[in-house]
Amino acid sequence: MKKPVSIDPQILSGGPPTGGGGRTAPLHRLGAWGNLPFFTGDWPRIEAALRFETRPILPPAHQRFAALEHTQPDVTRVVILGQDPYPTPGHANGLAFSVTPDTPLPNSRGNIFRDLRHDSGAAPATGDLTPWADQGVLLLNTALTVPEGAAGGHANLGWQRLTEQVLARLDDRPRAFLLWGAHAQKAARHLALHHLRIETAHPSPLSAYRGFFGSRPFSRVNDWLTARGEPPIRWA
């Protein structure tokens, strides 16, 4: 016997879902990103799927597009690709590898800071990477939502179409791409050759010792930026 599909009774009665998936992410702050075909061709379907999700969805709807809101295409200088938001309530804030200020550092984030200290001598005081985003570092997950407690639970929802269109938009001029792990490297495989590509193992404890530690991505990016006459990123 097939397992019945779990549908929120609030939806069946015409009310809003109780699981948190029905809260609509605001689009008016997207700026130039709002012109991507994704928002007319793909987002309505994804939004409908999220409305029928009975599990709580992370991050909260108002933070769902935070990466794009903070870092517009014309000011994007560096791109760091992640996979999906942290699935623990209160942790994800809509930026890849970033957590809310009071959240203890996840293992991958701790390894990133460890390598940053080795590379530049300092690291941010918290895991909130909003200051990076505000300097032109696009911190984009390839899936912008995740069900609470279910990492990868929305990987097949269609978010990859947004990633493809964002990367295509940023392919027009040289930028720096930090591609940590096979997932990010596969997503960026069609980029033009004029970019700086730093490809290493993922900073996860399972792989950081296989090429992430000691790769010096932060100073390499800043060296590349300054050679182009651009200001460096203040990583710490």
Architecture, CATH, for domain 57-227? 3-Layer(aba) Sandwich (3.40)
Q: Dihedral (C-alpha) 39, 153, 60, 181: value to the nearest 10 degrees? A: -80
Which of 135, 110, 96 lies closest to 234, judged by CA? Answer: 135
> What does the DSSP 8-state code read for residue 195?
S
What's the average model confidence in pLDDT over 85-94? 96
Walk across the sheet containing 78-82 and list its strands. 137-141, 78-82, 176-180, 196-200
Quote the pLDDT of residue 8. Answer: 38
Please determine, for residue 16, whether its predicted confidence score (pLDDT) is greater than 90: no
Q: Model pTM?
A: 0.89
Residue 84 annotated as catalytic: yes
Residue 31's pLDDT band, with cuts at 50, 70 and 90, is very high
Round the average pLDDT of the chain to a whole number and report it.
91
Q: Where are the domains of the chain?
A: 57-227
Quote the pLDDT of residue 26. Answer: 80
Residues paired with 199 in a beta bridge = 179
- The DSSP code sequence of 9-77 is HHHHTTS--SSSTTSPPP-TT-GGGGGSTHHHHTHHHHHHHHHT--S-EES-GGGTTHHHHHS-GGG--
Give the distance, in angstroms, between the CA of residue 203 and the centroid of all CA atoms in the same chain.
15
> What does the DSSP 8-state code read for residue 224?
H
Query: How far apart are the C-alpha atoms of 23 and 61, rounded to whole Å?
Result: 6
Question: CB–CB of 147/154 below 8 Å?
Answer: yes
Is residue 132 classed as helix, strand or coil in its secondary structure? helix
pLDDT in tens, 164-196: 999 999 999 999 999 999 999 999 999 999 999
Output 207 or 17, whichever has higher pLDDT.
207
Quote the pLDDT of residue 25. Answer: 80
The residue from 8, 42, 74, 84 that is catalytic is 84
